[in-house]
Structure 1
Amino acid sequence: MAMSHSVVIVGSGFGGIGMAIRLREAGIGDVVILEKAGELGGTWRDNTYPGAACDVPSHLYSFSFERKTDWSRRYPQQPEILDYLRNCARKYGVLPLVRFGTEVTGARFDAERALWRISTTRGELEARVLVSACGQLNRPVLPPVEGRETFAGPSFHSSRWDHGADLDGKRVAVVGTGASAVQIVPEIAARAESLTLFQRSAPYVIDKPDRPYRPWEKAVLRTVPGVYGLSRAKIYAAHESRAVAFVKYPGLMGIMERSFRRSLAGQVADPALREALVPGYPMGCKRILRSNDYYPALAGPGVTLVTDPIARVTPSGVETRGADGRTAAHAADVIVYATGFASTDFLAPMRITGLDGRELNEAWRDGAQAHLGITVSGFPNLFLLYGPYTNLGHNSIIYMLESQFRYVLGCVDAVRRARLDWIDVRPDVQDAFTREMRERLRSTVWETGCESWYMTADGKVVNNWPGFTFAYRRATRRPDPRHFRARRGASEPAPLA
């Protein structure tokens, strides 16, 4: 017989670990975290490529309830972020709750028993409440390029880095120019004999005001009351102010764009290369990237930027085709695919079935929908963290996650106190929220004429929150009982212990 639990969380990144901590603090001890990998950490476990780092300052890219005053630098790097998350799991006692090597393949809501029946690669278990903390950037995408499997040397996605591949003195091809590539290219250019970067569209890359923290600064942050909180508040306010351009007045991006062009001119002397690095879409429409060494690396010796589309991969490299139809061969010993993630699929490839046999993939056939990005109508006692309409272009996702923790706790507490079988967000409430999001998104910079990972295949932006983060926190302060339908008494629900 399947073991039954109060809450099962899928994923052990910032969302899963933070949610488990908050649940335990609320007195709900019967919590299980299912993790398909052998270690916790989510995206910071998976992305171990050279140069991996965060583009949000460390004092803000951390839990408000677990302040770390000894970050080594202003913008944290992957190993330090992963260590921070491990320390949180140990300190708050949630590490023993994680079942590693357990991949969720599906979940079906048993309405009669008011339980989620969860199928995993290690058997079945049950839960009163199911929380998805899978995130948006966990399923790597490889380009559908002819011949990709024929390449004779090492080839891999940036989030599945092959640390056994020797890059020193080799000819390395990097496909893609997103956030990962901007960090990888400078690191590899310094080691490889040559680096060829294949660019489909140029990103906007701005300066990253990064530096190590001095010993005296760490001492002050550690010992002087209020300094850390002031630093965090200052960083938050500076980042939050940028929402004005992203979601209110996209025309303000023109000021940043002119600053970008001046900076680019100062870093890239070659006019032809500089012209190729100027994006052909408004600034902010795609993710704005931060780096101090990307453009200098591209302007350096041994690095070639290729803007012709890839025609196919061959055993010895990459072949492109120009506008005139002519092909060109680019020899490579190693290929790195920095080609992003299936960001709009959310819970895929899990098969989630709610009331009346309704499948989540079917419910989302026109794009993912969830009220406040958290609850989905027809799927009782299911809660999403970092779901649709909760991604940001200007601030820390940890802030958004903490808002979601509070909302989920409010829902769980309502179920517990009223001894409800389940709660389910009303379809009209979800539909109204979705209409509001889509209407507000039309006036944002993300819908000014580009394709991005924020969009579905048919052009709907379903990832981003079209407003200020403090407005989202206000909206998620507590669940509104009027937004939900509930069942009580049809069965005797197991307590949320």
Structure 2
Amino acid sequence: MDNVVTEVFSAATDPVAPQHEVVIIGGGFGGLGVAISLKQAGIDDFVIIERSDDIGGTWYNNQYPDVAVDVPGIVYQFSFEKNPYWSRTFPKGGEVKAYIDHCADKYGLRPHLRLGTEIMARGWDEDNHLWRLTTATGTEITARYVVTALGAFVEPKKLDIKGLDSFAGKVIRTQKWDHAYDLTGKRVAVIGTGATSVQMIPQVALAAGHLDVYQRRPIWVFAKPDFRIPRAAQLALKYVPGLQSGIRAVAAGAVEVGLVAITVYGNRLEPVTKTVAWATTRFLHMQVKDPQLRAKLTPEYGFGCKRPSVSNIYYKTFTRDNVELITDGIAEVTPTGIVDVHGLHREIDVLVLATGFEMSQSPTVFRERPVTGRDGFDLAEFYQNERAKAYEGISMPELPNTFMVFGPYAWSGSSWHVMVENVARHTVRVITEAKRRGATAVSVKPEANDRFYDFIRPRSANTVIHGRACANANTYYLDHHGDMSFLRPTTAYQATKASKTFALDDYSYQQLALPAATSNGRRRAARKAQR
């Protein structure tokens, strides 16, 4: 291994020292997981910047009725911080938020938090080998390294529905649920039938006087093996050596088959795919006896084309007398209701928008929050015009000193936390190596980036997603180039092994000639000025 940096750059006459060694953007599971790994590696000079008023990411912002994980809780946690006390197999959102708070407290992350701060722009300063980040208030923050932990779903989608702004009643977005508003007896309309609606709609139907659900495409929903975990089982998970790890491994394998193997390898696992689809269809038949209603709820695309969901009561909700499933398109929203494409006007009191998010790799996200890298590289233009490409789903040659928790082809799918831990491990290895070499800028080599893309791209090309069965799915698994860059088409084991064994020389290391005698003083002055 190389013991010296590749290049040495002369600094400006009066070089700038960054305020922080690492800035982490995002206070959800991704940002906190990376922060814990940095601390464990002895890297304490970091700040976690979160635009919300509290940590948790999606588990703080999404508090709609019955919000819960859609994978078993034993999988939905860090491998190094296993919780034996989940109250049920699929924990509710409040319980997940409590786990997040526990992690922040146990690993001493609170002093590193900077809440209520939104980063609106990032620019690479080549002369000083640092990132300049601009907040919504115009304040500048500088950092040697940036870790982006934005999550998969960043901003609510902007809706192109005629007259939407004219509605005079109550509008509720699922991302910011208004619990103070009483739905009892109200005429409610929900637009959208994705994973959020699968959880939320049955609860709204219990309170509403009448509920209209506007559906563009039905979703695959199978039975949810959700049950309360008795205290004796919780104690066994805590005290019996290896029990929780073993169950977690089995559950992770099942999730990976359901969410990844069928999507990626479904063409070669056709019997498995057909069996799961048959079982899900039978579940629908058991819950909905009306053949016309059942037809409306049956997807026209194959199983695995979109992320499936789980619920024991979603299908059954549409058999209630106060619920109507509407598959006719929306022509416009009026001050008092919704007009469908056939001209029928349905009056409502409340409009609930469950219409999804912009993905974190969407050009739209980075047009509104520009990122400028080396030699004028623009991340929005890259995502718009180029095929999504990032080494191990984590770094790009044009973005020095930057690591992404959710980049192209990053998520292995068995568990979000597996991906977070892999990214954190990768990031710490590179930063530690840069410090060992005395480097101030590191960037993945273009040839290494191309090599990973040549490895990953063929594996994502011949999938169920690209087959005729998925033609009508409109799945977010595919980006606007038609590539399945949302998922890493490998096993979680392969992704984890890669994070431990990738060659550190796949990165180039550069040194800025910063006078050692003045570096610490400038950093202290920068922090003082920031305070």
What interval of TM-score do these two structures reach, taking the shorter chain for normalisation? Answer: over 0.9
Q: What's the secondary structure of 1:80's corresponding residue?
A: helix
Q: In angstroms, what is the RMSD of aligned CA positions?
A: 2.0
Q: Residues 421 and 486 of structure 1 are in contact (CA less than 8 Å); yes or no, is this contact kept in structure 2?
A: yes
Contact 2:147 / 2:403 at 8 angstroms: preserved in 1? yes
Give the partner amino acid of 2:255: H
Give the structure with the larger helix fraction: 2
Q: Which residue of 2 aligns with 1:276?
A: 296
Q: How does 1:9-48 map to 2 (within 5 A)?
A: 9-48=24-63
For 1:242-257, what aligned pairs fall within 5 Å after superposition? 242=258, 243-250=260-267, 251=270, 252-257=272-277
Q: Distance in 2 between matches of 1:184 and 1:249?
A: 30
Q: What is the CA-CA distance between 1:489 and the residue it aligns to?
A: 4.6
Letter in 2 for 1:310: I
Of stretches 233-242 and 264-273 in structure 1, the one that deviates more from structure 2 is 233-242
Corresponding residue of 2:431: 412
Q: Distance in 2 between matches of 1:423 and 1:470?
A: 27
Deviation at 1:481, TM superposition (A): 2.9
Alpha-carbon shift at residue 13 of structure 1 (Å): 0.2
Q: Using the TM superposition, give the Cα deviation of residue 56 of structure 1 relative to its aligned residue in structure 2, in angstroms.
A: 1.2
Q: Is the 8 A contact 2:146 2:402 kept in 1?
A: yes
**C-alpha separation between the residues in 1 aligned to 2:261 and 2:32?**
31
Structure 1 position 72, deviation (Å): 0.9
Give CA deviations for 1:306-334 in whole Å, capped at 9, x if unaligned.
Answer: 0011111111111111xxxx311122111
- Counterpart CA distance in 2 for 1:249 and 1:275 is 24
- Tell me, yes or no, if the aligned pair for 1:13 and 1:133 is still in contact at 8 Å: yes
Name which of 415, 418, 428 aligns with 1:399. Answer: 418
Q: CA deviation at 1:236?
A: 1.8
**Letter paired with 2:337:** G
- Counterpart CA distance in 2 for 1:458 and 1:372 is 19
C-alpha distance in 2, partners of 1:170/1:435? 55
Aligned residues: 492
1:193-246 superposed Cα distances (whole Å, 9 cap, x missing partner): 111110100110011111111121112222322222222122123223444322
Question: Could you list the runs of 4 or more consecutive aligned residues of structure 1 that deviate by over 4 angstroms after TM superposition?
Answer: 489-497
Instruction: Note if contact 1:410-1:478 (Cα within 8 Å) is conserved in structure 2.
Output: no
Alpha-carbon distance in structure 1 between the residues aligned to 2:169 and 2:28? 32
Question: How much does 1:475 deviate?
Answer: 1.8
Alignment of 1:233-248 (within 5 A): 233-242=249-258, 243-248=260-265
For the 8 Å contact 2:412–2:490, the answer to whether it is kept is: no
The one-letter code of the counterpart of 2:332 is R
Quick check: 2:128–2:512 contact (8 Å CA) kept in 1?
no
Moved more, 343-352 or 124-133: 343-352
Give the alignment partner of residue 117 of structure 2, picking from 102, 127, 133.
102
In structure 1, what residue type is equivalent to 2:266? Answer: Y
Query: What is aligned with 1:179?
Result: 195
Shift of 1:84: 0.6
Q: C-alpha displacement at 1:404, in angstroms?
A: 1.0
- State the Cα deviation string for residues 19-50 of structure 1 (Å, max 9, x = none): 11110111011110111111011011111000
Structure 1 residue 86 corresponds to structure 2 residue 105: no
Which piece of structure 1 moves more, 425-434 or 259-268? 425-434
Q: Conserved in 1, the CA contact under 8 Å of 2:129 and 2:512?
A: no
Q: 1:72 aligns with which of 81, 87, 92?
A: 87
> TM-score, structure 1 length as denominator?
0.95
Q: Secondary structure at the match of 2:358?
A: coil
Paired position in structure 2 for 1:345 = 362
Counterpart amino acid of 1:90?
A: D
Question: 1:131 matched to which residue of 2?
Answer: 147
Contact 2:147 2:402 in 1 (8 A): yes
Q: State the alpha-carbon separation in 2 of the partners of residues 342 and 166 from structure 1.
A: 29
What is the aligned counterpart of 1:376 among 379, 396, 409?
396
Match of 2:500 in 1: 477
Match 2:315 to one of 288, 295, 300: 295
Could you tell me how far apart the structure 1 residues matched to 2:372 and 2:158 are? Answer: 28
Alignment of 1:429-468 (within 5 A): 429-448=448-467, 449=471, 450-468=473-491
Distance 1:51 1:472 in 2: 33
Paired with 2:421 and 2:282, the residues of 1 have a C-alpha distance of 38
Deviation at 1:485, TM superposition (A): 2.1
Aligned to 2:70: 55
Give unpaired runs (5+ residues) of structure 2.
1-15, 525-531
Structure 2 counterpart of 1:309, from 316, 329, 350? 329
Is 1:117 matched with 2:128?
no
2:510 matched to 1:487?
yes
Is contact 1:208-1:291 (8 Å) kept? yes
TM-score scaled by length of structure 2: 0.89
Give the conservation status (yes or no) of the 8 Å contact 1:410–1:479: no
1:337–1:142 CA distance, 2 compared to 1 (3 A): farther
For 2:238, the aligned partner's letter is R
